[in-house]
Chains A and B, each alone.
Chain A
Amino acid sequence: MSASETATETVSESEKKIHGVTAEFTSVDTLLAACRRVRDAGYTKTDAFAPFAVHGIDKALGIKPTVLPWIALIGGVTGVTVALCMQIWMNAIDYPYIISGKPFISLPAFIPVAFELTILLASFGAFFGMWALNGLPRFSNPMFTNPRFDRVTDDTFFLFVDSKDERFDQAGVERLFADCGGEHIDTVVEDDSPTKVPSFLIVAWLVSVALSIIPLLIVAKMRVTNSSSPRFHIFFDMDFSPARDAQQTTSIFADNRAARPDIPGTVARGQVQDLSFTTGIEKLSSNAPKPSEHLVAFMQESDDSKTTGGAAQKSVMDTTVWLDKNPRKVDASLLERGQQQFGIYCSVCHGMNGGGNGLVNQRAQKLSQSTWIQPSSLHQETLYSDKYPDGKLFSTITNGIRKMPGYAGQIKAKDRWAIVAYVRALQQSQNASIDLVPQAKRASLEKEKAGVEKRLKEEAEEAQKKAGESKKDSPKPA
C-alpha cells in the first residue's frame, strides 16, 4: 500500500470503510506465535491465511470446534433413511415387483444404494455445510484489495483481525502485529472495484440458456409430430431382446425348440420334493428305492395309466398305502389357505359347503344335460378319513377322478394339502358336537344359536300370520 499511497488517494482513503488490519509473516512458526498472541489478547474475530494447511492453527487462534461433523452426520443419517424408505416404497409398496426371486423388502439388495446415498449426503453435508459456515460463495473479499495478498498462495502467511471484533482498536492491533514480528501491517479496506457484471458474461449466459433450450424443443416437436423413418434404436439388443419366449423357435438346437425339455434322468434344482408329499403315497419301508428311482417309477406308472386308460389307475389306487395324515401342520392359517383355494377351484362344482351343488352343477341341472355327472357330495361317509385317507383325497385332487380333471397343474402341492385339510374341516362341521367347541366360545355360539332360532320362529309366526290374514282377506274381493 505504501507504493499506492499518493496524494489523491489519501482523501478517498479516509472515506473508505476499514474492514480490519492484516500483517504478513514469513514462516509458520512466527505465524503460530502471532496467532497465540492475538488470541491471548482477547481477539475473537480473526483469521489466518497460509499457502498450506497448518495443523494446530485452530488451537493457536482459539477457534472453537466446528459443528461441521454434526452437519455431515445429519446428512449421512438422512441419506440412509431416505435410501431405505425410497427403495421399500418403490419396490414393495408402490409397485411390488419380484426381482431375482428375492422378497419385496430385501435388505441386502437395498444396502448398496443406502450406502451410496449415505456417503453422498454426508459429503454434501460436509461440503455445503462448510460453504454455509464460511459464508461462501463469496465472489469478492476485501483481503483481495491488497496486491501483496496474492503471495498467500505461494510463500507468505497472513494474519487478520476484523474491525467488527469487540476489542478492535486499529492502533492497538497494529502495535500487537509489530510486536509479533509482522511485516507490511496494512488496513484492509472496502473493495471499490465495480460490482456490475461484465456485459460479455451476460451475453454468454443468455446464449447458453438459448442453446440449452434447443434439445428440449427438438424433443417436444418429436413428441407431437409423426415421422415416416423408422425409430432410432440406441441399444438395439435392449429394444429387441435376443432371449426367446416360450413356444418360439430357435436355430441353435437341432430340434428348433427354444424352450428346452428337461434332460432325461435329471430333476431341476428345487424340484425334488418329498415324494409322499407330492403323491400322497406313503413310503413303503426304509429300504425303499432311492427317491430318483421312485420318481422314475412313478412317472412311468402315470404314463402307463394314460395309455392304458382308467383300469391301471384304479389298480394303483387300490393297492397303494396312502398317507393317513396330512403332512402339513394343520393350523388356522392352513385352513384359511385351504378355504381360499377351495373357494377358487372346488366350490364351483362341489359348492361352498362341499355338498355337491355348486354353480356349475345348478346350471347343468337347469340345462338338463344328459351327460352331466353330479359332483360328489363331500359329506358321504365313504369319503371320511377312515375310509378315504388324506393321501387318497390328495391324490384325487392331483390326478382327478371320473369326470373331475386333475388339478396338479393349477394348484401347488402344498395348497392341495391345504384343501385336504379344509375338506376334513368341512366334513367335521357336519358332525360336530358342542364338546369340540372351546369352552370360552360356547356361550357366543349358544347365543348365536338362540338368535337364529328366535329369528326362524318369528319368521314362521309372521308367515303364519300373513297366511291367516290373506285367508281372512281373500273372501273380500271374491
Chain B
Amino acid sequence: MSEHAPVVVKPADHEAFKLPASLSALGLPLCIGGAIALFVGLGLGYSSVSAKFGMSAYLTAFMYCFTIVMGSLFFVLIQHLSRAGWSVVVRRVAELMMMMIVPLAVLFLPILATLFTGEGVLYRWDSSTFWADAHIADEVVANKTGYLSQGFFAIRAVFYFAVWCFLAYYFFKKSTDQDETGEKAATDQMQWWSGPAVMAFSGTLSFAAFDWVMSLSPMWFSTMFGVYIFAGSILSAHCAIAAGTYLLQSKGALKDEVTVEHYHDLGKLIFGFVFFWTYISFSQFMLIWYGNIPEETEWFFVRQQETWVTVAFVLIGLHWLLPFLGTMSIHVRRKPFLVFCWACYILVMHYFDVYWMIMPEAYSGIHGDAYATAGGAIGVVSSLLCVVGMAALLVGVILKLATQTKVAAIRDPRFRESMAFENI
C-alpha cells in the first residue's frame, strides 16, 4: 500500500475534501422529503391508531436519531481526550453528525408540547389521575412528582440541549476554523476541554435517558438505563461514521486519505461495541431477573408479552450474535464494503432496540390497555415513516452543512499521521 510511496497531503482546496456534487444535490430533496414523511407518519399514527401511539412512534424516531448524534458527539470528545491520531481523517464525518443536535432540539418540541396539551398523551405520569388510578402510596407520589413534573421536565430538557448544543458547536467551530488557520492551539484547546466535556456529556445523557425513555414507565427504575442508551448510542455512531465515510468515498471524496486501516479500526470498535451493548443490556436484565422483585420486573415483563418477546429474541440473535460473529474476523474488517454492510445492518437493528425500548409503553401498562401488537399495519407504516423521515431530514441538513465545510479536518496537526496509520 503506502509503504513505498510516502504520504502526500493534498492541498486544502483539493476536490477530495469537498462534498461531492452528487451528494450536495441531495441535501434539499432529502430535507423536504424527510419532513413530509415525518409529518405524514406522525399524523397517520396520531389519527389512525391513537395520539399516544403517534407520539410514541415519533419519540422512537427521535431517540433513534438522537442516540446516533450523541454517539458521534462522544466519538469526537473521546478522540480529543485520548489524543487519537488514527481517527483524524474520519472525525469530520462525526463532527457533522454531532451538529445535528441543534435541529434535534427543535424536533424535541412536539414531545415537550405533549406535556402541556392534554393528559398523559405520551408520558403516563403527565396525568393528574395517574397516581391515584395506579394506587400508589402518597409518600411515593410526593417523591416522584417532585422530579416528574411538567415544569421541571421542561427545564431539564432545555438544560440538556443547551449543554449539548454548546459542546457540539464549540468542537465543530474549533475544528472547522482550524481548516482555515491551521493553528495547533485549537487542537490543544479541544484536548483540554474534552475532559470536562465528557463528564458533562455522561451526566446529561444519563439523565436524559431517565427522563425521556425510562419515565415512560414511571414506577420503574434502573440506574443502568443511561448506560444502556449510551451503549446503543456509541455502537450506532461508529456504524454511522463507517457508513457515512464509505458513502463519501464511493462518491469520490477522501479517496486516498481514508484507507483500509481506518475501516479496520472502525470495524474493531463496532465489534467491541456490539458486545458492549450486549453486556450492558444483559447486565441490566440479569440483575432484575435474578432479584425477581415485581416493581423491577414490570419493565421486562411487559416486553415479554406477545409480539415483544419475539422482538426481544430478535435482539439477542440479530443485534448481538449475528453481528458479533460477523464482525469477528480480521478479513471482514479489512474489507471496506463489508464494514459498510455490517454498519448499515447494525443501524437497522439499532432501530429494533429503540423500538423495543419505547413502543411497548404505547400499549401496555399494568393499568392501561391490554397488550397488543404494533398497532397493526398502519402502526408499522407510521413508525417507519417517522424514523425514515426524521433520519432523511437530518441527513439532508448534514449535507447542507457539509457543503460549507471540508469533509475532513485537513489541517489538524495529526492529519498526516492519520493518513499513514497502519494497524498491523
Return chain A residues, CB-CB under 8 Å to B282. 108, 111
A69 engages B330 (CB within 8 Å): yes
Return chain B residues, CB-CB under 8 Å to A32. 3
A438 at the interface (CB under 8 A from B): no
B286 engages A111 (CB within 8 Å): yes
| Residues 92-118 of A at the B interface (beta carbon under 8 Å) | 100-102, 108-109, 111-112, 115
Q: A36's closest neighbor in chain B, by CB?
A: B3
- What sequence of 0s and 1s flags, for each residue 292-313 of chain B, a beta carbon within 8 Å of any chain A beta carbon? 1010000000000000000000
| Residues 98-130 of B at the A interface (beta carbon under 8 Å) | none
A65 vs B424: C-alpha distance when bound (angstroms): 10
What's the minimum C-beta distance from B38 to chain A, rounded to whole angstroms?
38
Contact among A56, A109, A269 for B422, CB-based, below 8 A:
A56
B424 engages A108 (CB within 8 Å): no
| Residues 49-69 of A at the B interface (beta carbon under 8 Å) | 55-56, 58-60, 65, 69
A100 engages B290 (CB within 8 Å): yes
Return chain B residues, CB-CB under 8 Å to A115. 279
Return chain B residues, CB-CB under 8 Å to A56. 3, 422, 424
A100 vs B291: C-alpha distance when bound (angstroms): 8
A43 vs B84: C-alpha distance when bound (angstroms): 35
A60 vs B422: C-alpha distance when bound (angstroms): 12
A58 vs B424: C-alpha distance when bound (angstroms): 7
A73 vs B325: C-alpha distance when bound (angstroms): 11
Return chain B residues, CB-CB under 8 Å to A59. 3, 422, 424
Q: A58's closest neighbor in chain B, by CB?
A: B424
Return chain B residues, CB-CB under 8 Å to A109. 286, 290
B421 engages A112 (CB within 8 Å): no
What's the minimum C-beta distance from A58 to chain B, rounded to whole angstroms?
5
A112 engages B286 (CB within 8 Å): yes
A56-B3, A108-B286 as given contacts; A101 in contact with B292, CB under 8 Å: yes
B292 engages A100 (CB within 8 Å): yes
B290 engages A55 (CB within 8 Å): no
Chain A interface: which size bin?
A: 10 to 19
B422 engages A108 (CB within 8 Å): no
Q: A63's closest neighbor in chain B, by CB?
A: B424
Return chain B residues, CB-CB under 8 Å to A269. 294
A73 vs B192: C-alpha distance when bound (angstroms): 40
B371 at the interface (CB under 8 A from A): no
A235 vs B20: C-alpha distance when bound (angstroms): 71
Return chain B residues, CB-CB under 8 Å to A108. 282, 285-286, 289-290
A162 vs B148: C-alpha distance when bound (angstroms): 73
| Residues 255-291 of B at the A interface (beta carbon under 8 Å) | 279, 282, 285-286, 289-290
B423 at the interface (CB under 8 A from A): yes
Return chain A residues, CB-CB under 8 Å to B290. 100, 102, 108-109
A14 vs B30: C-alpha distance when bound (angstroms): 79
Contact among A55, A73, A101, A111 for B423, CB-based, below 8 A:
A55
Contact among A55, A65, A69 for B421, CB-based, below 8 A:
A55
Return chain A residues, CB-CB under 8 Å to B285. 108
Return chain A residues, CB-CB under 8 Å to B292. 100-101
Return chain A residues, CB-CB under 8 Å to B422. 55-56, 59
- What sequence of 0s and 1s flags, for each residue 388-424 of chain B, a beta carbon within 8 Å of any chain A beta carbon? 0000000000000000000000000000000001111
| Residues 284-323 of A at the B interface (beta carbon under 8 Å) | none
What's the minimum C-beta distance from A185 to chain B, rounded to whole angstroms?
24
| Residues 71-104 of A at the B interface (beta carbon under 8 Å) | 73, 100-102
Q: A55's closest neighbor in chain B, by CB?
A: B422
- What sequence of 0s and 1s flags, for each residue 311-333 of chain B, a beta carbon within 8 Å of any chain A beta carbon? 00000000000000000101000
B424 engages A55 (CB within 8 Å): yes
Q: B2's closest neighbor in chain A, by CB?
A: A56
Q: B331's closest neighbor in chain A, by CB?
A: A65
Return chain A residues, CB-CB under 8 Å to B421. 55
A269 vs B292: C-alpha distance when bound (angstroms): 12
What's the minimum C-beta distance from A132 to chain B, rounded to whole angstroms?
20
What's the minimum C-beta distance from B309 to chain A, rounded to whole angstroms?
14
Q: B291's closest neighbor in chain A, by CB?
A: A100
What's the minimum C-beta distance from B235 to chain A, rounded to whole angstroms?
18
What's the minimum C-beta distance from A122 to chain B, rounded to whole angstroms?
11
Q: Which of A56, A100, A108, A115 has the most CB of B within 10 A?
A: A56
What's the minimum C-beta distance from B119 to chain A, rounded to whole angstroms?
27
What's the minimum C-beta distance from B67 to chain A, rounded to whole angstroms?
25
Return chain B residues, CB-CB under 8 Å to A101. 292
Q: B423's closest neighbor in chain A, by CB?
A: A55
Return chain A residues, CB-CB under 8 Å to B289. 108
Return chain B residues, CB-CB under 8 Å to A65. 330
A102 vs B289: C-alpha distance when bound (angstroms): 10
A392 vs B240: C-alpha distance when bound (angstroms): 67
B286 engages A60 (CB within 8 Å): no
A56 vs B417: C-alpha distance when bound (angstroms): 13
A56 vs B7: C-alpha distance when bound (angstroms): 14
Q: A66's closest neighbor in chain B, by CB?
A: B424
A108 vs B292: C-alpha distance when bound (angstroms): 13
A60 engages B330 (CB within 8 Å): no
What's the minimum C-beta distance from A212 to chain B, rounded to whole angstroms?
39
Return chain B residues, CB-CB under 8 Å to A69. 330
What's the minimum C-beta distance from B211 to chain A, rounded to whole angstroms?
29
Return chain A residues, CB-CB under 8 Å to B424. 55-56, 58-59
What's the minimum C-beta distance from B200 to chain A, rounded to whole angstroms?
32
Q: A32's closest neighbor in chain B, by CB?
A: B3
What's the minimum C-beta distance from A79 to chain B, rounded to whole angstroms?
15
A269 vs B294: C-alpha distance when bound (angstroms): 9
A111 vs B279: C-alpha distance when bound (angstroms): 10
A115 vs B421: C-alpha distance when bound (angstroms): 33
- What sequence of 0s and 1s flags, for each residue 189-227 of chain A, a beta carbon within 8 Å of any chain B beta carbon? 000000000000000000000000000000000000000
Return chain A residues, CB-CB under 8 Å to B328. 73
What's the minimum C-beta distance from A198 to chain B, rounded to whole angstroms?
41
What's the minimum C-beta distance from B280 to chain A, rounded to whole angstroms?
13
What's the minimum C-beta distance from B64 to chain A, rounded to whole angstroms?
27
A65 vs B423: C-alpha distance when bound (angstroms): 13
Return chain A residues, CB-CB under 8 Å to B279. 115
Q: A269's closest neighbor in chain B, by CB?
A: B294
A60 engages B423 (CB within 8 Å): no
What's the minimum C-beta distance from B298 to chain A, rounded to whole angstroms?
13
Q: List 26 A-B contacts (CB under 8 A).
A: A32-B3, A36-B3, A55-B422, A55-B424, A56-B3, A56-B422, A56-B424, A58-B424, A59-B3, A59-B422, A59-B424, A60-B3, A65-B330, A69-B330, A73-B328, A100-B290, A100-B292, A102-B290, A108-B282, A108-B285, A108-B290, A109-B286, A109-B290, A111-B286, A115-B279, A269-B294
A102-B290, A111-B286 given. 17 additional CB < 8 A pairs? Answer: A36-B3, A55-B422, A55-B423, A56-B3, A58-B424, A59-B422, A59-B424, A60-B3, A65-B330, A69-B330, A73-B328, A100-B292, A101-B292, A108-B286, A109-B290, A115-B279, A269-B294
Closest 5 CB pairs between A and B?
A56-B422, A55-B422, A58-B424, A108-B286, A108-B289
